Amino acid sequence: MTTPRPETLAKLTPVLTKRWLSPDAWRIGTYEKLDGYAALRKALRAHPDDLIQLIKDSGLRGRGGAGFPTGLKWGFIPQGDGKPHYLVVNADEGEPGTCKDLPLMTHDPHSLVEGVIIASYAIRANRAYIYIRGEAVHAARRLRNAVQEAYARGYLGKNVLGSGFDLDLVVHSGAGAYICGEETALLDSLEGFRGQPRLRPPFPATHGLYASPTVVNNVGTIASVPYIVLGGADWWKSMGTEKSSGPMIYSLSGRVANPGQYECSMGVTLRELLELAGGMQPGHTLKFWTPGGSSTPLLTAEHLDVPLDFESVAAAGSILGTTATQIFSDQDCPVYATYRWLEFYHHESCGKCTPCREGNYWMVRVYRRILAGQGTHEDLDTLLDTCDNILGRSFCGLGDGATSSVTSSLTYFKQDYLDYIEGRTAPKLSDKQLVGAH
């Protein structure tokens, strides 16, 4: 493996991932030795409004995919309204390709717990929940252990560190529904209902959990807070770009030599990430990739130099999303890849709105037909037409996301579709898998 060039190596910014190298960082004793809970002590001496301003100044944007400014979100919580406030951490990581929050919660759970306490203090919440994906059992073990340890040391519970601030934190396991990563569906699920998205407005900032003001933030967002409190907004902005500040954990998977987690300054390019990851696997040439999970439109080898920050990826016609870069090569078929993602969206559609529920159901069937060598040219029009009826007409982002890979693969790889339809590519699915497709 060739060593990456110094200017590429300089893009690495080990901040949130730094403690993962210490095998016992999940224990409170080790965590405390590594700056742990220092940010909390510092934050409790500050006025909550100053903390909100600090997060605003840092330019921190949500790490869950949408990139909403975190400080602004906290500022939306009405103060002095006499209602209880809630902080809910969205740890329902499930976007295909995304694998950054699980290692963080497994190897450094206290950084999330500490972030929760500081954020709750800032928005004046006395109850916080971490809604963790059900399947993430080992991360949940470590997180529950961390919460217990934090209670025992007086970081949680009544009168946190003698500050007069009370906070209770519950780790709540989900039960295997991707839709619960959507914030209002998550709130419904946390209230004990089916996880289906809510109509907005009203927004969670005024009518969230139990119809009270609620902040819902991603794991990476909240885990960033202690570092900003310690190092300050200017230090945080020394990483990333002007509008997308800070470090970001890029998750490389697929046909690369060394897949894994690479925490880099925001705005790193795929070319640089590939250099860090030792290039493509031998015998593979980059064909298509997702910048941030399967709900973000595919990009191609043309886009190797697009800075992976919120603005630049949007300008390239995609979405930064969760920075889950799934990398596919000339040996992978974009039609089949899209079909598998659609099977996912079809399975995970909550059924609340018709465009998503029916649209994904039918698109899966059209794909099966194409992949079985029985597609027609009209099928491609049908797919685009269906996408038109889902995008912007669904109740939440799940339906919109489902269309991303369909429309982008048809834009960049129409020939691959035509090759199935016109018989140049051997069918990938057999007739028996076609039952019900017509």
Q: Supply the minimum distance, in Å, between the C-beta of residue 224 and another protein.
A: 13
Residue 97 engages another protein in binding (rule: CB under 8 A): yes
> Of 18 and 365, which CB lies nearer to another protein in the complex structure?
18
SS3 129: strand
Measured distance CA(171)–CA(132) in Å, rounded: 7
Q: Which stretch binds another protein (CB under 8 A): 336-344, 371-379, 384-392, 412-420?
A: 336-344
Which two structure tokens, joined as six digits, stand for 50? 């100053």
The count of chain residues that interact with another protein, using the rule CB under 8 A, is 138
**Mask for 3-32, x = binds another protein (CB under 8 A):** -x-x--xx-xxxx-xx-xx-x--x------
> Of 277 and 390, which CB lies nearer to another protein in the complex structure?
277
Measured distance CA(410)–CA(146) in Å, rounded: 47
Chain positions 144 to 183 lying near another protein, rule: CB under 8 A, are: 144-145, 148, 166, 168, 170-178
Closest by alpha carbon to 191, among 148, 112, 139, 129? 129
Q: Supply the minimum distance, in Å, between the C-beta of residue 377 and another protein.
A: 25
Chain positions 206 to 245 lying near another protein, rule: CB under 8 A, are: 206-207, 210-212, 229-232, 234-235, 237-239, 242-243, 245
**Mask for 252-291, x = binds another protein (CB under 8 A):** xxx---xxxxxxx-----------xx--------------
> Of 140 and 421, which CB lies nearer to another protein in the complex structure?
140
Is the Cα dihedral 284, 288, 289, 294 positive or negative? Answer: negative
> Of 312 and 326, which CB lies nearer to another protein in the complex structure?
326
Residue 126 engages another protein in binding (rule: CB under 8 A): yes
Terminal Cα-to-Cα distance of the chain (whole angstroms): 50
Chain positions 398 to 417 lying near another protein, rule: CB under 8 A, are: none
> Of 272 and 379, which CB lies nearer to another protein in the complex structure?
272
Residue 98 engages another protein in binding (rule: CB under 8 A): yes
What is the gyration radius of the CA atoms in the chain, in angstroms?
22
Q: Supply the minimum distance, in Å, between the C-beta of residue 94 and another protein.
A: 6
Phi-psi region for residue 159, left (φ > 0), alpha (ψ -120 to 50) or beta? left
Which two structure tokens, joined as six digits, stand for 75? 């500022």
Judged by CB under 8 A, the residue of 202, 285, 392, 422 near another protein is 202
Residue 49 engages another protein in binding (rule: CB under 8 A): yes
| Burial classification of residue 435, based on how many CB atoms lie within 10 Å of its CB (0-12 exposed, 13-18 middle, 19 or more buried) | exposed
Which two structure tokens, joined as six digits, stand for 46? 């500050």
Q: Which stretch binds another protein (CB under 8 A): 89-97, 361-369, 372-380, 415-423?
A: 89-97
Residue 360 engages another protein in binding (rule: CB under 8 A): no
Beta strand residue intervals within 95-204, DSSP E? 127-132, 168-173
Which two structure tokens, joined as six digits, stand for 263? 């925490």
Query: Angle at Cα 353 formed by Cα 344 and Cα 355, nearest 5°?
Result: 70
Q: Which stretch binds another protein (CB under 8 A): 2-10, 313-321, 376-384, 413-421?
A: 2-10
> Of 376 and 430, which CB lies nearer to another protein in the complex structure?
430
Phi, psi of 94 (to 5 degrees): -155, -5
Residue 93 engages another protein in binding (rule: CB under 8 A): yes
Distances in Å between the Cα of 336 and the Cα atoms of 33, 142, 159, 364 are: 49, 37, 56, 11
| Burial classification of residue 159, based on how many CB atoms lie within 10 Å of its CB (0-12 exposed, 13-18 middle, 19 or more buried) | exposed
